[in-house]
Structure formats: C-alpha cells, structure tokens
Amino acid sequence: MTKQSFIKGAMILLLAGIINRILGFIPRITLPRIIGAEGVGIYQLSYPFLIVLLTFITGGIPLAIAKWIAEAESVGDTARVKRIFRTAMVLSVSIALALTSFMLFFAPLIIKYIIPEPRVYQSFLVMTPLLVIIGVSAVYRGYFQGKQNMIPSAVSQTIETIIRIIFSLVLSYMLLPYGLQWGAAGAMIGVVIGEVASLLTMLFCYYRERKRKLSALVNTTSVEVKTERTKTIEAKDSSILRKLLSLSIPVTGSRLVGSVSYLLESIFTARSLAAAGIITSLATAQYGALQGMIMPLILLPTALTYSLAVSLVPSLSEAAAQKQNSLIHKRLHQSMRISLVAGAPFTIIMFLFAEPICELLYAHREYAPMLQLIAPIGIFIYLQAPLQATLQALEKPGVALGNTFIGAVVKISLIIILASNPALGILGALIAIAVNTVLVTVLHAFSVKRFVGFQMNILDFVKVGAAIVIAGAFAHYVKSLLSAQPEWLSLLIACATTMIIYVYFMFLMKIIDRDDLTRIPYVGKWFNAH
C-alpha cells in the first residue's frame, strides 16, 4: 500500500477528475442530441430523490472511515483499522438495503406526489440498485482514502466514467423508440452498469492489498501479540460504531440538507415555472438544460476542488491528532490558493464566451444567458469544497450543517419568489442558486476563521481578479479579430490566449512560483532540475 502526500494524493485524484470531466462531456454533448433537452430533463429529475437517499449512506460514513483510519494508521493500530472497516461495511449495507426496500415499495407514491413528472417512473425504478452498489463502494473508497492512497479511487472513477458513457449512450439510443421516458431510463441503466464496474475495481484493489499483507505476515513472528490485540479491539465493537456514528451523523445531516435542498429545488423550480405560465414540457426542458448542460460546465473545475477536499480530510485529521496547528494552516492555504488560481480562468471564459460554448457543445445558443449569469459565481463553488472539508476534518460538521441549512432556506424561498415571475422564469432559479452558493461559502469561511484563525490573503484575490480581467480583455479582442474564422477555431484560440496570459500574470505577481511546480507528482522533478 502506497501512502501519498497531501499534494500528491490530491494531484492523483485531480488527474482522474480531469479525465472523468472531459470524458463526462461526451454524454453531456451527445445525450441532448439523442433524447433532446426534454429527455435530459426527465433523466435529471430522477436524480434528486436518489441523491437524498444516497446521502444517508455516502454523506458521512466514508468521511468518518477516512478520518478514523487515518488516525489509527498514524499510531500503527492495524487491528483497529480492520474493525473500523468491517463495522462501517455492515452499517452501510444495512442502511442501503433498508432504503432500497423503501424506494421500491413507495415508488408510485413518490412519483405521484413528490417528483412533478410522471415520465420519470421508468428511470426511477432502474436506478434503485445504485443504493447498495454505491454504498459498498463508498466504504472501500473511505478505507483507501484513510490510508491516504488515492490511486484506487482515481482508477475506479475513471473506469466508471468510461463504462457509463458507453452504456448510457447505447442504451438510450436503443430504448428511445419505446418513448422519451425509456430513452432517459436507458441512460440511467448505463449509470448503474458504470457503478458496478467501479465497485469491481475497488474490490480488486482491496483484495490485491490483502494478498500482499498476508504474504508479509508469513515472515513475521508477532502473531501472538497481534492476536491478543485483536481480541482487545473486538471487545470494543460498540465503541467503534459509536465513534463512526458520532462523526457520520452530523456530516450526513449537513449533506442531507444539501441533497434535500436539491430535491426541493427540482420540485419548486418546476412548480414555479408552471406558475409563471410555462408549459410542463418546456419547463422540463429548461430544468434539463440547467442541471444537465449549464451546471456541469460551471462544475468542471470542481474536479480539482473535490480532489483537494478528499485529500484534505485525512491530512488535516492527522495533523489535528498530532496537534500540528502550523501544518493545518499550511494545508488550508495550499488548498484554497490552488482552488482560487485554478478556478478563476474558467469563470471568465464561460462569462465572455457563453454563446459560442453553448452553441458548439449543445447546439442550444438560447441557454447562453443562464451560463453567463452563473459563471461569476463559480469561484465561490470552487472555494466551498475545501472549506467544508476543513470543518468536517476538525470535527465541526454541525457548523457546516447550520451554514448549509441557512443557505438552503434562502435558496428555496428565492426560487418560489423569483422563478414564478414570468419576467425571470428559469433565470430566477439561477439567481437563487447563485445567492445560496455565495452565502454558504462566506459562512463556511467565517466558521473556519473562528475555529483555526485562518483566512485567505485578500491580496491574492485582488491579484487573481486583475489577472482574469486583463486576460479576458485580451481574449475578447483576439476573438473579435478572428470573427471571419470558424467559430470553434476562434473560440479555441481565444481560450488559449486567456490561459497563457493568465498563467503569465500568476508568475509575474508571484501567486505561483517554481516551488509550486516542483511539488507536482512525476513532472515536478523537471522544474527542480533547472
């Protein structure tokens, strides 16, 4: 088992995340062309309820596993690691089976009274196996993350993405002749097959590690000591369960607020659009465009912030257990600075070039105002993940829960008020999402400052802001010069111009230096040699 440093582990997940996001745009681009924006809306409407149920399984248990295993590993308590893993697996599978039964039994009532689109029924039924599959995978993922080995998670995510893309597109195309609802269900079957492939990958990595450990134990002479220690640990099963629940319940509660908020967002957006006089089919199409086209573009840089957040939890937990406050500040500064620097250029590109992006990717230029409205808020999305991970690693999940709840109440209230206004429609829902994102990120930032005294350097924000404005102005000028060229070519050159000028200013203003480049796994040695 190879334990990676914080930066190396984050970079491994980042590489997988970038590959997955790039691959993930294949169905984002192709699926609307197969089943249309309305079909994408049916597909997307089946997700919110599933996410609520998945939150009970994946919301806090994997993070608790990663945290407690990281602490046990830091003192060499391998027997406790084993007991934590087994207890978590029993807990996760038990919850998953109970929720699957609930989902199947109450499916007709859920579709009738909660999800405002009867055509979701087929997609809803075919996705029920995901609860057990993802529940088991999450335990393995938390186990490996606790050992600070991010390779199994990265590999399994990439395999899942590839398998999901192939089967989602093929099955949606094959089932579309039976109706739009079956086309959406075919895409959902692809998701299930992809998660099965991910689980099989995690199992392979786990049992290969066990085989390696067993081979190593044959050559040791400490079997008696380990046996005695295991007996001691086995006598404390209930304490392990209590400890897992002590962190997982508040974290699950925090994420449950977010997932219930997402479910209510889908329900009230549809109902508010209807109140604004928009017919059901058009409202479904607009919601499909929002969640299936626009938000994935905004969330593209979260491949980085997710990787930082996942690596941050065990790293900060280990530092907190050893009372290394300076290391906590160092890790926080690294993750926040990388999130800010990496996310900023995407916001200016999506803001300036919303129309050509929507046209080239989706052949729907009319959705560009949605992308342009939400693009500047992207930077708050990218900073939110490391902040929330910090609160969880410092055992303050209740604070994260409170912040998320406040944001959810504000968001739903604004959706009801704004999206029902005929002058705003779907843009009202976007404004509500934007306000929620900014509010929760700011609340998280104040909370982190209160607990560890950490805050971002305001000068970094000023420098990055200046850089993206200058880079964006140059890019806009370049694109206007190339107006006679094919749109894809002018957009590509303009985006490349933005990135080159932005990176130049990052070095010029010393936001990035050569030391940062030397810490990148595998390629860092090239910069160190000069």
Question: For the whole model, what pTM was predicted?
Answer: 0.70
Distance CA 378, CA 383 (A): 9
- Could you tell me the mean pLDDT of each successive run of 10 residues in the chain, 530 residues long? 53 65 75 83 82 82 79 74 85 91 88 80 90 91 80 85 91 91 92 94 86 62 45 56 74 76 83 82 80 83 65 65 72 78 88 90 85 91 84 77 89 92 88 93 90 78 90 90 87 90 86 59 50
Q: In the chain, what are the helix, strand and coil shares in percent, each to the nearest 5?
A: 85, 0, 15
Q: Please report the pLDDT score of residue 255 as a whole number.
A: 74
In 271-344, beta strands by DSSP E: none
Which tokens hold the place of 149?
């080995």
Q: Please report the pLDDT score of residue 343 as a whole number.
A: 85
Contacts 24+ apart (CB under 8 A), 173-180: 173/34, 176/34, 176/35, 176/39, 179/119, 180/35, 180/36, 180/38, 180/39, 180/42, 180/119
Q: Please report the pLDDT score of residue 196 as a whole number.
A: 95
Is residue 420 within 8 A of residue 428, CB to CB? The reply is: yes
Length of the chain: 530
Is residue 293 within 8 A of residue 28, CB to CB? The reply is: yes
302 φ, ψ (degrees, to nearest 5): -70, -5
Distance CA 202, CA 156 (A): 6
Q: If DSSP codes are grouped into helix, strand and coil, which group holds residue 395? A: coil
How buried is residue 105: exposed, middle or buried, by Cβ count under 10 Å (0-12/13-18/19+)?
A: exposed
Q: Please report the pLDDT score of residue 194 as a whole number.
A: 93
The residue whose two tokens read 């990595």 is 205
